[in-house]
Structure 1
Amino acid sequence: MGALRAGLIGLGMMGRHHARVLASLDGVELVAVADPGGDPHSVASGRPVLGSVEELIDAGIDYCVVAVPTASHEPVGLALAAAGVHALIEKPLAHDVAASTALVDAFDKAGLVGAVGHIERFNSALQSLRKRLEQGDLGAIYQVATRRQGPFPARIADVGVVKDLATHDIDLSAWVTQQSFVTVSAQTAHRSGREHEDLVAATCRLSGGAVTSHLVNWLSPFKERLVVVTGEKGAYVANTLTADLTFYANGEVSTTWDAIARFRGVSEGNTIRYAIAKPEPLRTEHEHFRNAVLGLPSDIVTLSQGRETVRVAEAMIASAKGSMIVSL
Structure 2
Amino acid sequence: VSICTPSISHAELTIKCLEAGVNVFVEKPLASTLDECMKIIDTARSCNKVVMTGYIERFNPSVRKAKELLKNGEIGDIIMSHSRRIGWWPERIGDVGVVKDTAIHDIDLARHIFGDEPSQVYARGGRQKHTIAEDHVQAILSFKDDDKTAFIEANWLTPRKKREMYITGSNGVITIQFLTQQLVIEKADKVLEPLLKYEEPLKNELAYFAECLLNKHKPMPDEVDGAKAIAIAEAIIKSIQTNRSVEIEIEEIR
The secondary structure found in structure 2 opposite 1:294 is helix
Q: How far apart are residue 299 of structure 1 and its match?
A: 5.0
Q: Are 1:126 and 2:63 counterparts?
A: yes
Identify which range, 86-95 or 209-218, moves more after superposition.
209-218
CA deviation map 1:220-278 (0-9, x unaligned): 110100100001111000000101110001x2xxxxxxxxxxxxxxxxx3100111222
Are the aligned partners of 1:288 and 1:300 in contact in 2 as well (CA < 8 Å)? no
Q: Which residue of 2 aligns with 1:114?
A: 51
Letter in 2 for 1:176: I
CA deviation map 1:96-143 (0-9, x unaligned): 100001001111221111001110111110011011111222211111
The secondary structure found in structure 2 opposite 1:221 is strand
Are the aligned partners of 2:52 and 2:219 in contact in 1 as well (CA < 8 Å)? no
Q: C-alpha separation between the residues in 1 aligned to 2:155 and 2:135? A: 6
RMSD: 1.2
> Where in structure 2 are the equivalents of 1:267-282 lying within 5 Å?
269-282=189-202
Identify which range, 75-84 or 130-139, moves more after superposition.
130-139
Q: Are 1:321 and 2:215 counterparts?
A: no
Q: C-alpha separation between the residues in 1 aligned to 2:194 and 2:130? A: 43
Q: Are 1:237 and 2:157 counterparts?
A: no
Q: How far apart are residue 307 of structure 1 and its match?
A: 0.3
Q: Are 1:67 and 2:4 counterparts?
A: yes
Q: How far apart are residue 85 of structure 1 and its match?
A: 0.2
Q: How far apart are residue 298 of structure 1 and its match?
A: 6.9
Q: C-alpha separation between the residues in 2 aligned to 1:201 and 1:288? A: 32
Q: C-alpha separation between the residues in 1 aligned to 2:86 and 2:183? A: 19
The secondary structure found in structure 1 opposite 2:14 is helix
Q: How far apart are residue 193 of structure 1 and its match?
A: 5.0
Percentage identity across paired residues of the two chains: 30
Are the aligned partners of 1:288 and 1:298 in contact in 2 as well (CA < 8 Å)? no
Q: Are 1:139 and 2:59 counterparts?
A: no
Structure 1 residues 296, 203: closer, same or farther in 2, change over 3 A? same
Q: Which residue of 2 aligns with 1:307?
A: 227
Q: C-alpha separation between the residues in 2 aligned to 1:298 and 1:272? A: 35
Q: Are 1:196 and 2:133 counterparts?
A: yes
Structure 1 residues 299, 111: closer, same or farther in 2, change over 3 A? closer
Q: Which residue of 2 aligns with 1:294?
A: 214
Q: Which residue of 1 aligns with 2:160?
A: 222
Q: C-alpha separation between the residues in 2 aligned to 1:213 and 1:94? A: 24
Letter in 1 for 2:108: D
Letter in 2 for 1:320: I
Q: C-alpha separation between the residues in 1 aligned to 2:45 and 2:207? A: 22
Q: Which residue of 2 aligns with 1:85?
A: 22
The secondary structure found in structure 2 opposite 1:287 is helix
Stretches of 4+ moved more than 3 A in 1?
A: 296-299
Q: Which residue of 1 aligns with 2:185?
A: 247
Q: 1:104 aligns with which of 41, 48, 51?
A: 41
Where structure 2 has 5 or more consecutive residues not aligned to the other structure, the ranges are 249-254
When the two structures are superposed, what TM-score results if normalisation uses the length of structure 1? 0.73
Q: Are 1:148 and 2:68 counterparts?
A: no
Are the aligned partners of 1:91 and 1:118 in contact in 2 as well (CA < 8 Å)? yes
Higher RCO (CA 8 Å, separation ≥ 6 residues): 2
> Where in structure 2 are the equivalents of 1:21-36 lying within 5 Å?
none
Letter in 1 for 2:119: V
Q: C-alpha separation between the residues in 1 aligned to 2:221 and 2:18? A: 17
Q: Which residue of 2 aligns with 1:10?
A: none
Letter in 1 for 2:118: F
Aligned residues: 247
When the two structures are superposed, what TM-score results if normalisation uses the length of structure 2? 0.94
Are the aligned partners of 2:183 and 2:194 in contact in 1 as well (CA < 8 Å)? yes
Letter in 2 for 1:276: L
Where structure 1 has 5 or more consecutive residues not aligned to the other structure, the ranges are 1-63, 252-268
